[in-house]
Amino acid sequence: MKSFQMRENIKGFEFGTPIDTEIIYGDKTYGFEELPMVLKFEDSNTYLKFLLGQDDRVYGLGPNMGGINKRGRRYEAYCTDDPLHHEDKVVLYGAHNFFMIQDNQGVKGYFIDFPSRIYYDVGFSDRDAFSIHIHGKDFTFYIIEGDTLNEIVTKFHKMIKKPYLPPKWGLGYFQSRWGYKSEEEIREIHETFKGKDLPLEGIYLDLDYMEDFKDFSISKERFPNFKQLVEDLKEEGVRLVPIIDAGVKIEKGYSVYDQGIEGGHFALNADGKPYVAAVWPGKVHFPDFLQEKTRVWFGDYYKVLTDLGIEGIWNDMNEPAIFYDEDSLDEAVTLAIKAKGKNLDVFDFFDLKDKFQNMGNKDVYYQRFFHRLHGKSYSNEDLHNQYGYMMTKSASEGLRKHLGKRSLLISRASSIGMHAYGGIWTGDNSSWWSHIELNLKMLPTLNMSGFYYVGADTGGFGGNCSGELLCRWMQLSVFTPLLRNHAALGTKPQEPYAFGEEVTGINRKLLKDRYRLIPYLYSQLLMHHRLGGLMFTPLSFEFTGREALDAEDQLLVGEEIMIAPLYKPNAQGRYVYLPEEMVLVNFKEKPEMMVLKEGVRYMAYALNELKFFLRKNKLMVYGEESLNVKTMRQDQLNVLGYVDTKANFTLWNDDGDSFAYEEGKVFKTKIMVEKLASGHYDISVNSQDEYLKIIKVMLIDSDNNIFEKEVEVSNLK
Ligand code: GLC
């Protein structure tokens, strides 16, 4: 074991020969410190245990089931394609090995830099123990010290690369569905949104646009004028975002396949031949994204799409998902043939059924193919969690090269490190009420791992959505940076207009409200890109007391507002915990505000409203409603404030689609409000934003007095 120190209060312990995951950055000063806990090595595994006190809490571990406090469950870090997120699932698409433990001594952060499987038992088998089982002996273990949870998160963010920043249009509303099968259908959807006065930023294209599910192909039959379609829609401010899957169809004459073979770009089996698995198109090879030359080669393929005007991509099935491989299919078919004409008892029948039913994503598949990294060969299992990450890196670099500006990029599989290259959608959730709550609870955890451009399939992917469920989900999703309504093939229509006039009207308001919130949300992304820290903060990170610890279904969004979404059917309101005096904002065209004392209170929340809370002596900025980002007003903003003494707010903005922010080219607007002894307010606004001219301010004080004023912006050079 080698130990090292990184900056202040960050220690690392290197065991064996860790694989270079490109996650942690910074200078290391090597020393001889002992790990302050006991590790046990057995065969090729490592075991580690923390003792937990009665009220100790554990945070982090990425996109998983369960609460914000991770205690009481098991988790597995091993990117997996599982479309049914039942309550007892322990593993989903992401493998994020950052976590924090809070005990009565204080807080500590930990990161295990290891790209294969890790099991976490967080007080499940034994309530007083947090046991970790690492499937290997080569890893680096980091300990991050600090005074508060927020401080540790920020320190961790300084150890990893800066996060991916989408173009501003990435914050608009996107419509998606597996099954939008033709150019006509896409145009029709756009026309329907337009006709119904519903905002629309873009439409995601699922694999229906491809020819036989081949990456970088476009069906001539169903999308004969793809380029024209992209152009026509873009003119109206609407973009198309096609999907790209990890598996490349095996087909002679298909250039991606031919070049992949020729260039040695595919992952190999034990005999040194390209490994064969099956996904959507049938048999495929997997690009070996661990090789730099393959990342460049595959990344360049995105040019096929950018040349057609595409500026956004979703990378899917990159755990990688495997429906079956040749050996497993043979085994199952042989068993089925043997069973023909036989009288199968329960065990034989179950055996046969399971052979087919459990054929997807079997552990053994990931031992059967190999990657080349820095001149060495590793099985996929050895570095499994790097795969989706490296596919996204490939796409990110290819898109940057060929587009020359920012692109929208999301991935399904993820691990920390990928946060620098793309965002995440949380995969195949379902149209279940419990998944709204799950969506809410994942948000701060994803931020802890460095991911900000995140969101769930609003309305739910699997199963059928109702109008009520969609509206309630939207009341949460209007706050998530990625806002996309997506549904599975064969489910009932789920577009905002699919549930009759009343629901369409409610969705219209919510979508327009989303556009009003974009300046605030985008400012959050820019600011956190630079400074790290949480955009979605659990109440327990900011306030003390039992209620704050337990209020896991409420979140702070930025430092200014608190959301408390409703996630129960037939409810007209819910209980909310106010950790301090706050203003309840009913976000109508002219917002209604009311001061509420701290404590637990019932909040009426109708389906057609959008409500949130504004903290005391805080301001929040919002814009005007719009149908897309392109037509958003830039000369005027609104400010809501709850000010008894004074409050400041800095709004971050930039050009929205170049990389100039990397050189610090952001424009800040500083708003300062002070309540004078006379009861009047002193308001000043200084802005580096040349387009901004007027700010309409609406303030409330503790006595519910409302004050309104239009302020001219003095532009700073
Ligand atoms: C996967 C994706 C889902 C997509 C489907 C078809 O299940 O997670 O979003 O619709 O594949 O491409």
Q: Across-strand partners of 204?
A: 241
Mean pLDDT of the 186-196 span: 98
Determine which one of 319, 457, 553, 609 is catalytic.
319
88 in active site = no
Q: Does pLDDT of 295 surpass 90?
A: yes
550 in active site = no
Nearest CA to ligand 1 atom 10: 178
Q: Please tell me the predicted confidence (pLDDT) of residue 32.
A: 84
Q: Across-strand partners of 73?
A: 122
Q: Please tell me the predicted confidence (pLDDT) of residue 657.
A: 97
The atom of ligand 1 lying closest to the CA of 461 is 9
Q: Across-strand partners of 316?
A: 245
Mean pLDDT of the 379-398 span: 98
Report CA torsion sign: 181, 187, 193, 199: positive
Q: Does pLDDT of 716 surpass 80?
A: no
Mean pLDDT of the 125-146 span: 98
Q: Ligand 1: list residues with CB < 6 Å.
A: 83, 178, 206-207, 243, 316, 412, 427-428, 486
Helices (H), 7-76: none
Two tokens at 155? 């320190």
Q: Please tell me the predicted confidence (pLDDT) of residue 717.
A: 56
CA–centroid distance, 185 to ligand 1, in Å, is 19
- The CA angle 614-617-622, to the nearest 5 degrees, is 50
Q: Which of 288, 290, 305 is nearest to 402 (CA)?
A: 305
Q: Please tell me the predicted confidence (pLDDT) of residue 679.
A: 87
Phi/psi for 381 (5° steps) reads -55, -35
**pLDDT band per the 50, 70, 90 thresholds, residue 271:** very high
Q: Which helix (H) or strand (E) holds 43?
A: none
**pLDDT band per the 50, 70, 90 thresholds, residue 8:** confident
Phi/psi for 135 (5° steps) reads -80, 60
Report d(CA 508, CA 199) in Å as an integer. 7
**In the chain, pLDDT over 90 holds for what percent of residues?**
98
Phi/psi for 374 (5° steps) reads 45, 50
Contact indicator for 55, 177 with CB cutoff of 8 Å? no
Mean pLDDT of the 277-305 span: 98
Write the pLDDT tens digit of every residue in 602-647.
Answer: 999 999 999 999 999 999 999 999 999 999 999 999 999 999 999 9
Report d(CA 455, CA 442) in Å as an integer. 9
The atom of ligand 1 lying closest to the CA of 412 is 8
Mean pLDDT of the 687-710 span: 95
Write the pLDDT tens digit of every residue in 74-128.
Answer: 999 999 999 999 999 999 999 999 999 999 999 999 999 999 999 999 999 999 9
Write the pLDDT tens digit of every residue in 208-250.
Answer: 999 999 999 999 999 999 999 999 999 999 999 999 999 999 9
The atom of ligand 1 lying closest to the CA of 489 is 10
CA–centroid distance, 227 to ligand 1, in Å, is 24
Report d(CA 604, CA 62) in Å as an integer. 32
Contact indicator for 514, 173 with CB cutoff of 8 Å? yes
Write the pLDDT tens digit of every residue in 654-690.
Answer: 999 999 999 999 999 999 999 999 989 999 999 999 9
55 in active site = no
Determine which one of 113, 121, 201, 316 is catalytic.
316
Q: Does pLDDT of 486 surpass 80?
A: yes
Query: In this structure, which amino acid lies at residue 265?
Result: H
Q: For residue 329, how many other CB atoms are within 10 A of its CB?
A: 15
Contact indicator for 565, 571 with CB cutoff of 8 Å? no
Q: Which of 624, 497, 628 is nearest to 233 (CA)?
A: 628
Cα 568 to chain centroid, rounded: 23
Q: Does pLDDT of 593 surpass 60?
A: yes
Report d(CA 410, CA 428) in Å as an integer. 14
**pLDDT band per the 50, 70, 90 thresholds, residue 715:** confident
**Lowest mean pLDDT segment, chosen from 6-15, 73-82, 180-189:** 6-15
If you ran DSSP here, which 8-state letter would residue 67 be given?
-
Nearest CA to ligand 1 atom 3: 428
Contact indicator for 189, 208 with CB cutoff of 8 Å? no
Q: Which of 686, 714, 680 is nearest to 699 (CA)?
A: 680
Write the pLDDT tens digit of every residue in 513-552.
Answer: 999 999 999 999 999 999 999 999 999 999 999 999 999 9
> What is the residue-averaged pLDDT of the chain?
97
pTM for this model (two decimals): 0.97
Q: Scan for tokens 């320190």, then name that residue.
A: 155
